[in-house]
Chain A
């Protein structure tokens, strides 16, 4: 199917109405840069879509009383990239938003949409006739993962740029659902399963992301590897936040994207707290990144390359932020 099937479009103005439409089976539609393309490919076949553009509560970047920020899930990536407060307090977040795709995608795409981006794979993001000739794949309509045929897991890669930057910034996610509102550490939004990488219950809606006040001397950044100067998804992406006290690490957080089925906050970094940010520490950090990246044959670029550049990007970021 390369033609957009018919669906009903709802345009609610409140979160309650949006939830009601979703409860009837509607899919949330934000910028549409992922969902509409997948729908055309027959990967998604929603009978109804719930356009979130008119829901006022989803907009806006606001200061919170404790020096933090609330980012509405409907805020466009372009506005995140250009926000002066984010640029000053959480540069990784602004850098990551600016690194998404091209300008038209950043104007259409939203924070919530980027966080909920479907996982991607060479065997999944394809036309229907091609997938059908492969008997489809584990992620959709099929029974075999062509990337790891002997396994029973899906390794489609999560490729959002903004998630790792928010993860290293201590973000929390605010979710509206049938049970009301709840807040949770952002990392709990995903699970490590390419088939079903979001922990959201049916009808749940990401409403906002909350960032705490930054600690003193916090530096952060985001780097991605891609072939072209714009448009491309990350072959690998790395976000790092770092605070040094006279050359000694007293805060460190590292997160990866594009190399696992979900964005991943790298574990084990706490062992480096209290060390100087020297070559040895940077090498240790690099190895943590490499060992926790598990890229598979989900892109035309080979997995070993993506694992290697995760390390290179980590080293580069640590040098940049530590300088």
Chain B
């Protein structure tokens, strides 16, 4: 008998080293690797075998380390991402230089799965690669560059010459740590003596509650140090993302408004905190009737969710131009697009995590190290909750394992801060996957109707849009959504008569906030469907009708803004036109054969304002020259999208130095200035411009110090910066010089009037995508075969990264269209909540259009959100093309597709 339970220690072989570990045999391998051996390169995304982030090799084969007990690997060889291994090294280099790592949280798992494949199959086929990676989820890349990196392990990175970094495929400047597994994410590091914090959450959608004897409970549980309740919040228990709208509780005060709302927090030794059965806590619940869904919320079922909002309406958006009724009266054809959408979860592979430390000095401070998209906003919000001055709060962002808008709101920060402040001990916390899904904000569910009237040539005359957005229990970014959507609701087209109305509705659903596109992706589905319907009525080609209506430079938008430059939609459509014709021909040929599989082609266009709507949103950047060399101090958070690399390229060219000469200090509110949030596709455009200005300022100062002319050449030569111009050669010794260049940029916008008229954004991204799908008419399943995407990005700063954004945006758009539906409580894991796997991705062809934006750095503008918006309209248009009827409820899950087919057949029969 081989009974490991008799032994208190485990002998494990990890990465060729033998370890004697004081761990019980049942402890899971993921925890042994991370907590006992410090090998935090193995990530934990779900702890349930659904995401594959913890994939390691055991005897050369991939396993989920969270599903293996330590005792099961005794006597076997465990290999992790930290291993020195020639195959793994080659893969890491390939992942780095091909942009296969964006946020980097899935990268170790992907690398290990690929390593297992290449060991047995050195030259795999694409299908073999896709199969081998099929158990590891990625939310950023759309898998395309990962598959390429495995297929063609090798290097394609360019090392651009000085002054030529913009436009080059510079490898991610912060990528080495991501592929090595050494980059620290929220859950990876904390002081050794940190206490553990676990949040107790409401299991009810709406309930009142009273808390009993917590002191007694505390005394009965050794190891538990403290139980935080609302009484422990030192400052304001109300927070929110707007200065004048703070409706969210840090800890609930007798009333919970959604399932998953925080009620108490347990603080103590990790084992003690984890062992507690939360059902035994003295909480007396009195559930009340919840308002779930838009219909119930508008009927004010169970009473208003918040006092002061008797009709549950949180915010309204409005844009009116011309006379919409007159426009329809003169229209040759009128059609409608309708859609209902669901809550959509960000499903970043890194659950929220971090730690806080109280630093007692002359003025006490609280330092919070956590994953975030918005360090300065976190700082100010936490200060309000703590009753401290903002300067007493320091936010140190960790690497962020995916954000997509979901990490703009506070998550672990306030409770960590309170716990560390009150106990005087460091406190750490990592949300579980179900907790992350229950407590973090979502994409707004919507009910939208778009009505469109065109003239005989298909030119848009009148557009009437009504959209309700379920913002859940708290405002989060709801008003931003209701404000942004009316500006964009017509799509990127010229329309004389417009009426766009939106409402944000409180319910007892999870708070809906920011998610890549702020409501515009949902609106585009209905609006593009209306355009398809009217094209069908007139017998017009769907690309052609978009081309006829496309906004061009000199045109006026529905908010009355005259676009002066950088309107590349026509160029996007022209780039796609040959592929569109070929796609239509392929679809017709395939359908001619008959059978259960029907093919279809679809097209979607979009525009998207870069930056916040009609408000100041500046970025401030500093570039320094001192003993440390040249350093860019950037408060812009890189959540995987690559802004660190983009800014490095821009700064390098402005200084006319090689990109390798630029070091960075990022994020930390103690060391960098406010660059604004990583959201609204604003960092390349706004922080990029600020960084360019800062670098130009530094260059001027350097040249002035050296008495050199504007064309002088700079060169870092060991410990000196060389300034050379003709005969002039001056060495500026780094340890004697301290120069700083500063740059700030705030895109020019104006407030919108009561009719939504004004200049809401300084520039817009434009794009068009076409999709080819097949629909199984018997099973209702949809396969997306091809997507071609054309995006006007102004100027491509880094093609690898822009492609990566587009591919990743397409993956999320595909999820939105076909499979993603968050049902509170029911799909709170990565097994029932479906995000696309590598096998679900289509072939993707990308056309980068460069219609330069005069305000942007080198002409560049944003790509993050534009990448996703046209995908769902294109796929849904293709499904409608295949089955002859539009899908009006997304995601287009198989039963909804079959329902639509059946209804269309019935309608045709009658």
Residues on A lying within 8 angstroms of B by beta carbon are 1-13, 17, 29, 31-33, 36-37, 40, 48-49, 51, 53-54, 101-105, 107-108, 122, 125-130, 132-133, 225, 227-232, 235, 300-302, 304-305, 308-309, 312-313, 315-316
* Residues of chain B within 8 A of A312, CB atoms compared: 596, 778-779
8 Å CB contact of B131 from A49, A103, A125, A126 = A103
* Nearest CB of chain A from residue B211's CB, rounded to whole Å: 16
- Asked whether any CB of chain A lies closer than 8 Å to the CB of B268, the reply is no
A305 to B131, CA, bound (A): 28
CB-based nearest B residue for A226? B781
* Residues of chain B within 8 A of A5, CB atoms compared: 275
CB-based nearest B residue for A4? B28
* Residues of chain A within 8 A of B432, CB atoms compared: 2
Assess the A40–B47 pair: CB atoms within 8 A: yes
Our count of residue pairs bridging A and B at CB distance below 8 angstroms stands at 180
Contact flag A108-B64 (CB < 8 Å), given A225-B894, A228-B837: yes
Of B598-606, B657-665, B823-831, the one touching chain A: B823-831
Contact flag A305-B780 (CB < 8 Å), given A231-B135, A231-B837: yes
8 Å CB contact of B55 from A104, A133, A230, A232 = A104
8 Å CB contact of B2 from A11, A107, A231, A301 = A11
Among B780-838, those with CB < 8 Å from A are 780-781, 818-819, 821, 823, 825-829, 831-832, 834, 836-838
A17 to B201, CA, bound (A): 43
* Residues of chain B within 8 A of A309, CB atoms compared: 778-780, 894
Q: List 26 A-B contacts (CB under 8 A).
A: A3-B274, A9-B24, A11-B72, A12-B3, A33-B67, A37-B49, A107-B61, A108-B63, A108-B67, A125-B831, A126-B826, A126-B828, A127-B434, A129-B279, A130-B203, A130-B259, A133-B287, A225-B779, A225-B894, A229-B840, A235-B894, A301-B893, A301-B894, A305-B898, A313-B779, A315-B778
A225 to B134, CA, bound (A): 17
* Nearest CB of chain B from residue A17's CB, rounded to whole Å: 5
Contact flag A305-B135 (CB < 8 Å), given A9-B69, A126-B826: no
* Nearest CB of chain B from residue A255's CB, rounded to whole Å: 19
* Residues of chain B within 8 A of A13, CB atoms compared: 1-2
* Residues of chain B within 8 A of A127, CB atoms compared: 434, 828-829
> Scoring B residues 1 to 12 as 1 if CB is less than 8 Å from chain A, else 0, what string do you get?
111110000000
Assess the B781–A103 pair: CB atoms within 8 A: no
* Nearest CB of chain B from residue A307's CB, rounded to whole Å: 11
Contact flag A104-B49 (CB < 8 Å), given A9-B5, A301-B895: yes
* Residues of chain A within 8 A of B5, CB atoms compared: 8-10, 48
* Residues of chain B within 8 A of A2, CB atoms compared: 47, 432, 434-435
A249 to B836, CA, bound (A): 41
- Asked whether any CB of chain A lies closer than 8 Å to the CB of B278, the reply is yes
Contact flag A230-B839 (CB < 8 Å), given A3-B274, A33-B49: yes
Assess the A229–B778 pair: CB atoms within 8 A: no
- Asked whether any CB of chain A lies closer than 8 Å to the CB of B26, the reply is yes
* Residues of chain B within 8 A of A6, CB atoms compared: 24, 26
Assess the A53–B135 pair: CB atoms within 8 A: no
- Asked whether any CB of chain A lies closer than 8 Å to the CB of B353, the reply is no
Assess the A130–B839 pair: CB atoms within 8 A: no
* Residues of chain B within 8 A of A105, CB atoms compared: 49, 135
* Residues of chain A within 8 A of B278, CB atoms compared: 129
* Residues of chain A within 8 A of B55, CB atoms compared: 104
* Nearest CB of chain A from residue B396's CB, rounded to whole Å: 27
Assess the B837–A102 pair: CB atoms within 8 A: yes
Contact flag A126-B64 (CB < 8 Å), given A11-B2, A51-B69, A301-B893: no
Assess the A49–B26 pair: CB atoms within 8 A: yes
- Asked whether any CB of chain A lies closer than 8 Å to the CB of B82, the reply is no
- Asked whether any CB of chain A lies closer than 8 Å to the CB of B113, the reply is yes
Contact flag A227-B837 (CB < 8 Å), given A10-B5, A54-B2, A309-B779: no
Contact flag A230-B134 (CB < 8 Å), given A6-B26, A104-B63, A225-B781: yes
8 Å CB contact of B895 from A9, A17, A104, A304 = A304
- Asked whether any CB of chain A lies closer than 8 Å to the CB of B218, the reply is no
- Asked whether any CB of chain A lies closer than 8 Å to the CB of B50, the reply is yes
Assess the A305–B827 pair: CB atoms within 8 A: no
* Nearest CB of chain B from residue A228's CB, rounded to whole Å: 5
Q: Which of B62, B69, B204, B840 has the most CB of A within 10 A?
A: B69
Assess the B132–A133 pair: CB atoms within 8 A: no
Assess the B779–A228 pair: CB atoms within 8 A: no
A8 to B25, CA, bound (A): 8
Q: Which of A1, A36, A49, A308 has the most CB of B within 10 A?
A: A36
* Residues of chain B within 8 A of A108, CB atoms compared: 49, 63-64, 67-68
CB-based nearest B residue for A127? B434
- Asked whether any CB of chain A lies closer than 8 Å to the CB of B870, the reply is no
A101 to B64, CA, bound (A): 13
A126 to B825, CA, bound (A): 8
* Nearest CB of chain B from residue A79's CB, rounded to whole Å: 11
A235 to B827, CA, bound (A): 15
Assess the A103–B836 pair: CB atoms within 8 A: no
A68 to B832, CA, bound (A): 38
Among B409-446, those with CB < 8 Å from A are 432, 434-435
Contact flag A132-B203 (CB < 8 Å), given A37-B49, A51-B69: yes
8 Å CB contact of B279 from A103, A132, A235, A301 = A132
Contact flag A103-B779 (CB < 8 Å), given A32-B67, A228-B837: no
* Residues of chain B within 8 A of A125, CB atoms compared: 831-832
Assess the A107–B67 pair: CB atoms within 8 A: no
8 Å CB contact of A103 from B74, B134, B778, B823 = B134
A31 to B25, CA, bound (A): 16
Across the A-B interface, the 10 shortest Cβ-Cβ residue pairs: A229-B839, A133-B203, A102-B135, A305-B895, A312-B778, A104-B135, A230-B134, A9-B25, A3-B274, A2-B432
A12 to B63, CA, bound (A): 22
* Residues of chain B within 8 A of A132, CB atoms compared: 203, 279
- Asked whether any CB of chain A lies closer than 8 Å to the CB of B618, the reply is no
CB-based nearest A residue for B818? A227
Assess the B135–A230 pair: CB atoms within 8 A: yes
A31 to B72, CA, bound (A): 10
CB-based nearest B residue for A231? B837
Assess the B135–A122 pair: CB atoms within 8 A: no
CB-based nearest A residue for B3? A10
CB-based nearest B residue for A235? B894
CB-based nearest A residue for B823? A300
> Scoring B residues 886 to 903 as 1 if CB is less than 8 Å from chain A, else 0, what string do you get?
000000011100100000
* Residues of chain A within 8 A of B259, CB atoms compared: 130, 133
* Residues of chain A within 8 A of B67, CB atoms compared: 31-33, 36-37, 108
Assess the B26–A231 pair: CB atoms within 8 A: no
> Scoring B residues 100 to 129 as 1 if CB is less than 8 Å from chain A, else 0, what string do you get?
000000000000010000000000000000
* Residues of chain B within 8 A of A133, CB atoms compared: 203-204, 259, 287, 825
Assess the B832–A300 pair: CB atoms within 8 A: yes
* Nearest CB of chain A from residue B512's CB, rounded to whole Å: 19
- Asked whether any CB of chain A lies closer than 8 Å to the CB of B71, the reply is yes
* Residues of chain A within 8 A of B838, CB atoms compared: 229-230
A228 to B894, CA, bound (A): 10
* Nearest CB of chain A from residue B128's CB, rounded to whole Å: 10
* Residues of chain A within 8 A of B837, CB atoms compared: 102, 228-231
* Residues of chain B within 8 A of A227, CB atoms compared: 781, 818-819, 834, 893-894
CB-based nearest B residue for A130? B825
A53 to B840, CA, bound (A): 33
Assess the A12–B4 pair: CB atoms within 8 A: no
* Residues of chain B within 8 A of A9, CB atoms compared: 4-5, 24-26, 69, 71-72
* Residues of chain B within 8 A of A1, CB atoms compared: 277
CB-based nearest A residue for B839? A229
* Residues of chain A within 8 A of B832, CB atoms compared: 122, 125, 300
Assess the A37–B3 pair: CB atoms within 8 A: no
* Nearest CB of chain A from residue B555's CB, rounded to whole Å: 41
Assess the B134–A231 pair: CB atoms within 8 A: yes
* Residues of chain A within 8 A of B25, CB atoms compared: 8-9, 11
* Residues of chain B within 8 A of A11, CB atoms compared: 2-4, 25, 71-72, 74
